Structure 1
Amino acid sequence: MRLGILDVGSQGAHLDVLRLRPERPVKLLAVVKRPTGLAAALGPDGTIAPDGVERLVAAIGSSVRAARRSGLHEVLAFGTSSIRDAPNREAVIARVAETCGLRLGFLSGEVDAQLTYRGACEWAGPSIQGLFVADIGGGTLELAAGDAQGPRWAVSLPLGAGLLTRTRLPGDPPKPQHVERLRVRLAGELAAVAGDKRAQVPAGAQVLATSKTLAQLAALTGGSDDAGLPAITRRALRKYIPRLAGMCWAERARLDGVSVGRAPQILAGAVLAEAVMNAFGISTLTVCPWALREGIALTYRLHLDADHGDRVARVALGRPRVARLIDALDALHTPLERVH
């Protein structure tokens, strides 16, 4: 079967067209990316400005047309926290539905973290003894840890790089005291999370970073892990944070590895990544290319595997946590209505 996953966030609308077959790897058939520019259109309280709404509508409309050309009649469509948590969310959803013939759904932060873990876990392979996953989005930070069977804990915190930039780092560039206050605040909040006995990192766990912000930090610092894979080291972050803090957004955008869209928030992302690594005693975060969309596809494929007689898939579908994830994904299905 074919599955379309449309992920709409502060930077862009990302459509994956996938082929799912029982007990076979998920095959990516097509990728469509359209910029939304929402990050620049969010007010201090997260309200999406009218020009941002129109850019969002244009990006989603283009994605819907691409989905139809790929032979899809419906997609799993969802907005990330930049839309989910916007005070004018309902008006934005209505505008998208009226113009694009598609109604955006939403995943809770905890479900987002669990599905991201699922994608990263598959990429890491079945031999892992333990896994820790960090994902820095525009509005939230997702953390999860567990083993090959799934996450033992997963949290979503309102500490995204875009949100922190808007609310904690005014100015271009921000004043040194604002940067230091952010570091102190994040250290306290993440120490509280790491201090929870339930939120432990398994001994010897593989440690992965899954977001674009973290991938760009790895490219910027030129780090790698013991296997030679792109990675972020705590030592490199400590070196680069003062440098980024002294630059304006335009200067950051000229750095190797940093995109124009993420240049304003790359400093907050670096400060947040350092705080996560400090709180959990991590020296290196390896960049993982699989995350939320892959986790959605793999979880959804469980239906096919179970129908094909796969015992492991049947057992997984019987677990309450997996059943809740399936229910959350089923709620995202939306037909691609034709709007004239």
Structure 2
Amino acid sequence: MKAAIIDVGSNSIRLLLGTYIDGQWHNEPKRLWTTRLGKRNEDGSLTTESMDASYKAFSEIATLAKDYGVDHCLAFATSAVREASNGIAFMEQAMTYCSMTYRILSGDEEAVYGFKGALQDCLADGLHYATIDIGGGSTELALGSKDSIYWSRSYPVGAVRLRPLSDEGPQRVWEETRFLWDPMMIEGTFGDFIGIGGTITTLAAIDLKMTEYDGHKIQGHKLSRECVEGIILQLRYMSRDERLHVPGLQPGRADIIVSGAEILTSFMDAYEVPHIFVSEQDGMEALQQELFEGHDEPTQ
């Protein structure tokens, strides 16, 4: 079985191609197109510019999927699409560029899939874990163990959404979000906080000074609170051109990485988290596995 999983996010569209062989997935490196669906019109609808950029991405994905010999193609959309009045129409139109089924995930579903994808290989130890996924338009938290995911939240704060607030000053995001986070009631022996998504993997790549992205090195990387603050201080007063020369920082995140990192420090301060471990695996892998198991019947 060969599958394509497409993550339609607020900052970018990502593609995961994989083949299921002998009981496990063998995946290609994820590909990314920066389309900025989260930068919406004043009425909250998706902009023509971001939709056109996305349709171009879907066209390229269709070619890649065909060349790979994909049997099943599943797209899932998150914050930008689910909040937009024209979100469903956009996804229906996207299907004319790429043959696929799609789902628009709720914030809770997004949190749950992120947890499952990041921790699918770690839960056998019986410990309890928490995940944080800072996207372009929202941030998802989930808490659970091998038995269940018993707590999850989705907050309307993301790197694209809060960029204007971040531009106002170095403490603005922290000030606006420090009382946002709900108490997290852990029901057993706790393991670690796990960070997933583009903001956090990019921070890890910057910390590792990667000239070329390597997901294997990202997986399991430890990011301390001090390290994240250091990256913020390093980047905040750089111009965009200067940021483009920072190893590990992708051009499509150069203008939003500071706001995303500030959301992370706010989270870490609220829960007194000294460090997180980074997972390159996320909701894409969880949906990939669910697609194989046949537990879900996506609708067009």
TM-score (norm 2): 0.85
Whole-angstrom distance in 2 between the partners of 1:241 and 1:36: 22
The structural deviation recorded for 1:201 is 7.4
Could you tell me which residue of structure 2 aligns to residue 292 of structure 1?
A: 283
| Cα distance per residue 1:277-326 (max 9 Å; x no partner) | 111221111111111011112334445xxxxxxxxxxxxxxxxxxxxxx4
- Where do residues 323-338 of structure 1 align in structure 2 (5 Å cutoff)? 326=295, 329-332=296-299, 334=300
With over 3 angstroms needed to count, the CA separation of the structure-2 counterparts of 1:212 and 1:148, relative to structure 1, is same
Where 2:130 maps in the other structure, the secondary structure is: strand
The structural deviation recorded for 1:230 is 1.8
User: Structure 2 residue aligned with 1:175, among 164, 168, 180?
Assistant: 168
Could you tell me which residue of structure 2 aligns to residue 259 of structure 1?
A: 250
Q: Does the Cα contact within 8 Å between 2:3 and 2:71 map onto a contact in 1?
A: no
- Where do residues 1-340 of structure 1 align in structure 2 (5 Å cutoff)? 1-20=1-20, 24-28=23-27, 30=28, 33-38=31-36, 42-43=40-41, 46-102=44-100, 104-166=102-164, 168-169=165-166, 174-176=167-169, 179-190=170-181, 193-194=182-183, 199-200=185-186, 202-222=188-208, 229-303=220-294, 326=295, 329-332=296-299, 334=300
Whole-angstrom distance in 2 between the partners of 1:215 and 1:155: 21
With over 3 angstroms needed to count, the CA separation of the structure-2 counterparts of 1:255 and 1:39, relative to structure 1, is farther
| Cα distance per residue 1:10-54 (max 9 Å; x no partner) | 4443332333468x22232x4563524225853455433222221
* Cα RMSD for the two superposed structures: 2.8
Whole-angstrom distance in 1 between the partners of 2:278 and 2:42: 31
| Cα distance per residue 1:51-80 (max 9 Å; x no partner) | 222111111122123223333354211222
Q: What amino acid sits opposite 2:206 in the alignment?
A: L
Q: Can you give the 5+ residue segments of structure 2 that lack an aligned partner in the other structure?
A: 210-218
State the percentage of identical aligned residues: 23
Please identify, of 41-50 and 116-125, the stretch whose mean Cα deviation from structure 2 is larger: 41-50
Q: Does the Cα contact within 8 Å between 2:37 and 2:81 map onto a contact in 1?
A: no
Whole-angstrom distance in 2 between the partners of 1:58 and 1:135: 26
The structural deviation recorded for 1:252 is 2.6
Corresponding pairs, count: 291
TM-score (norm 1): 0.75
Q: What amino acid sits opposite 1:15 in the alignment?
A: L
Q: What amino acid sits opposite 1:261 in the alignment?
A: G
| Cα distance per residue 1:77-96 (max 9 Å; x no partner) | 12222222223324423432
Q: Which structure: larger Rg? A: 1
Whole-angstrom distance in 1 between the partners of 2:3 and 2:274: 38
With over 3 angstroms needed to count, the CA separation of the structure-2 counterparts of 1:94 and 1:302, relative to structure 1, is closer
With over 3 angstroms needed to count, the CA separation of the structure-2 counterparts of 1:274 and 1:15, relative to structure 1, is same
With over 3 angstroms needed to count, the CA separation of the structure-2 counterparts of 1:237 and 1:27, relative to structure 1, is closer
Instruction: Point out the structure with the larger helix share.
Output: 1
Where 2:57 maps in the other structure, the secondary structure is: helix
With over 3 angstroms needed to count, the CA separation of the structure-2 counterparts of 1:5 and 1:40, relative to structure 1, is closer
Whole-angstrom distance in 1 between the partners of 2:38 and 2:130: 31
Could you tell me which residue of structure 1 aligns to residue 216 of structure 2?
A: none
The structural deviation recorded for 1:331 is 2.3
Where 1:163 maps in the other structure, the secondary structure is: coil
Whole-angstrom distance in 1 between the partners of 2:43 and 2:174: 22
With over 3 angstroms needed to count, the CA separation of the structure-2 counterparts of 1:33 and 1:117, relative to structure 1, is same
The structural deviation recorded for 1:209 is 0.7
Whole-angstrom distance in 2 between the partners of 1:91 and 1:164: 26
Q: Can you give the 5+ residue segments of structure 1 that lack an aligned partner in the other structure?
A: 304-325, 335-340
Q: What amino acid sits opposite 2:261 in the alignment?
A: A
